[in-house]
């Protein structure tokens, strides 16, 4: 299969031929097209059998996973960013989109430049003002790499998926990033708590990703109990490749984002940011028209304050972990103070899962979400697979 794939990959302008060269150059869409040409018909492999058993050498020769924002977003797949209303998640997404198209670092993380298509479904006027503010303060000469769609669109409609894919390919944006803001607006009439409807939403996102390649990035909301993560049925959590959470404290003065989950990478500590007001002009009454841009803050300048655990699961998790820490014989692990008791992250999952009043097959998933929420709120510290109370 590897040799067939190599034969299908065209030689690039700079001599690229090996599939890994295209991955490193951010040309994942070329590989997707080559794979489709190399894919055997009717579900059969090149030797007439459905399943091809790769040798370790063949597996090692396949292209490695790549990133769009290093340690934050993969270059391919489906990702989600979520948070409560007024947390600033749309501003974070737009800021990341601008950084990706410009190929500049974002919160200190490297980016791989590509085209971005932003589907803004919750108000054209608001999106217009946000982009004008961003463009005035941050944008450079690569603005043409960012495209916007404001027409109504449904992730559940086969026709809408096909038309959007055609438009993305026609604009030369295949293999880049498609942002859907928001998932709720893109799935009118769907019940997010229904496993059936959420399954249709997930399949729509994956179908779009298959059609255009690259990354589909969904903007979503947190539930009423913010400690329980993404709003809606839990199948969404397991179906995506990365989850980013955006939070805002009770005072409204502190906002943060963090990598809550990454399939092939670590979670991150929260990154604080502020929304700086930008004046864009005046309306017909002479009142100022304003929007905001994201301003990263140094972690050292904004010491984390503990918030009360917002949900029942977090309260149960914190109590169970505190009991386990008192019984622990491990101290000073993972960068903790020398005499601070610690437990492993797996142990924290184990003791938390045992006390959560949820179905057994969902206990570990809910335990992970509760622990991540406690870390994000400052109740627990997490480094190198160790947990302790800071």
Which of 95, 152, 108 lies closest to 294, judged by CA?
95
Q: Answer whether 273's CB lies under 8 Å from 256's CB.
A: yes
Stretch 39-48: mean pLDDT: 49
How would you class 108 by CB atoms within 10 Å of its CB: exposed for 0-12, middle for 13-18, buried for 19 or more? Answer: exposed
pLDDT the model gives residue 43: 47
Task: Output the pLDDT for position 226.
Answer: 65
Res. 39: pLDDT tops 80? no
**328-362 burial, b for 16+ CB within 10 Å, e for fewer?**
bebeebbebeeebbbbbbebbbbbbbebbeeeeee
Going by the DSSP 8-state scheme, the letter that residue 125 receives in this structure is H
- Output the pLDDT for position 197: 96
Beta strands in 84-190 (DSSP E): 116-120, 146-149, 177-181
Distance CA 103, CA 277 (A): 24
Task: Say if CB 186 and CB 155 are below 8 A apart.
Answer: yes
Q: List, in order, residues 6 or more apart from 214 with CB less than 8 Å away.
A: 28, 29, 75, 76, 114, 174, 175, 176, 177, 178
CB-CB contact of 380 with 389 (8 Å) = yes
The pLDDT tens digits of the residues spanning 211-241 come to: 999 999 999 998 776 667 789 998 999 899 9
- Rg of the chain over Cα atoms, rounded to whole angstroms, equals 23
Please name the residue that has the structure tokens 């399954």.
199
Closest CA to 222 of 107, 88, 379: 88
pTM for this entry: 0.66
Residue 100 has pLDDT above 80, yes or no: yes
* Local confidence band at 42 (pLDDT 50, 70, 90 cut-offs): very low
pLDDT of residue 48: 56
* Parallel/antiparallel/unpaired status of strands 67-69 and 73-74: antiparallel
Weakest mean pLDDT among 255-269, 295-309, 361-375 = 295-309
- For 5-25, b/e burial (b = at least 16 CB within 10 A) is beebbeeeeeebeebebbbee
CA–CA separation, 258 and 156 (whole Å) = 29
Provide the pLDDT for residue 13: 47
Highest mean pLDDT among 67-71, 106-110, 133-137, 163-167: 163-167
pLDDT band at residue 313 using 50, 70 and 90 as cut-offs: confident
Q: Does residue 35 surpass a pLDDT of 90?
A: no
Residue with tokens 């997930």: 202
Mean pLDDT of the 158-175 span? 96
pLDDT digits (tens, 9 = 90+) for 280-295: 888 888 888 899 999 9
Residue 258, pLDDT > 80, answer: yes
Q: Is 175 exposed, middle or buried (0-12, 13-18, 19+ CB in 10 A)?
A: buried
Tallying the residues shown for the chain, one arrives at: 390
pLDDT for 200: 96
pLDDT at 354 over 70: yes
Question: How much is the pLDDT for 307?
Answer: 55
Q: Supply the pLDDT for residue 227.
A: 66
**Farthest-apart Cα atoms in the chain, separation:** 73
pLDDT at site 1: 46
Phi, psi of 109 (to 5 degrees): -95, 140
- φ, ψ of residue 10 to 5 degrees: the values are -75, 155
Tokens standing for residue 270: 């929260």
């Amino acid at each position: 299969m590897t040799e067939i794939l190599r034969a299908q990959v065209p030689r690039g302008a700079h001599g690229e031929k090996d599939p890994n060269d295209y991955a490193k150059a951010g040309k994942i869409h070329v590989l997707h097209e080559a794979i489709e040409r190399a894919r055997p018909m009717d579900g059969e492999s090149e030797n007439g059998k459905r399943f091809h058993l790769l040798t370790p050498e063949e597996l090692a020769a396949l292209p490695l996973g790549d990133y769009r924002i290093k340690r934050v977003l993969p270059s391919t797949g489906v990702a989600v960013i979520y948070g409560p209303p007024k947390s600033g998640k749309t501003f974070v997404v737009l800021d990341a989109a601008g950084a990706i198209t410009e190929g500049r670092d974002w919160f200190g993380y490297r980016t791989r430049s590509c085209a971005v298509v932003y589907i803004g479904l919750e108000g054209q006027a608001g999106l217009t003002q946000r982009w004008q503010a961003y463009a005035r303060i941050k944008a450079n000469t690569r603005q043409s790499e960012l495209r916007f769609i404001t027409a109504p669109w449904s992730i559940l409609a086969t026709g809408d998926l096909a038309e959007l894919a055609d438009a993305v390919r026609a604009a030369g944006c295949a293999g880049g990033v498609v942002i859907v803001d928001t998932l709720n607006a893109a799935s009118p009439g769907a019940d997010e708590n229904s496993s059936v409807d959420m399954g249709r939403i997930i399949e729509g996102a994956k179908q779009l990703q298959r059609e255009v390649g690259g990354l589909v990035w969904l903007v979503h909301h947190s539930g009423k109990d913010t400690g329980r993560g993404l709003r809606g049925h839990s199948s969404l959590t397991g179906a995506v490749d990365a989850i980013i959470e955006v939070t805002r404290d009770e005072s409204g003065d502190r906002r943060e984002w963090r990598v809550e989950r990454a399939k092939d990478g670590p979670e991150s500590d929260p990154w604080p940011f502020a929304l700086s007001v930008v004046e864009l002009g005046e309306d017909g009454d002479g009142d100022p028209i304003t929007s905001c841009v994201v301003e990263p803050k140094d972690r050292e300048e904004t010491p984390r304050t503990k918030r009360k655990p917002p949900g029942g699961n977090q309260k149960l998790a914190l109590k169970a972990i505190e009991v386990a820490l008192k019984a622990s014989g491990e101290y000073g692990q993972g960068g903790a103070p020398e005499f601070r008791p610690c437990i492993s992250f797996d142990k924290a999952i184990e003791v938390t899962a045992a006390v959560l009043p949820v179905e057994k097959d969902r206990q570990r998933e809910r335990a992970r979400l509760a622990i991540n929420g406690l870390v994000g709120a400052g109740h627990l510290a997490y480094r190198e697979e160790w947990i302790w109370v800071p």
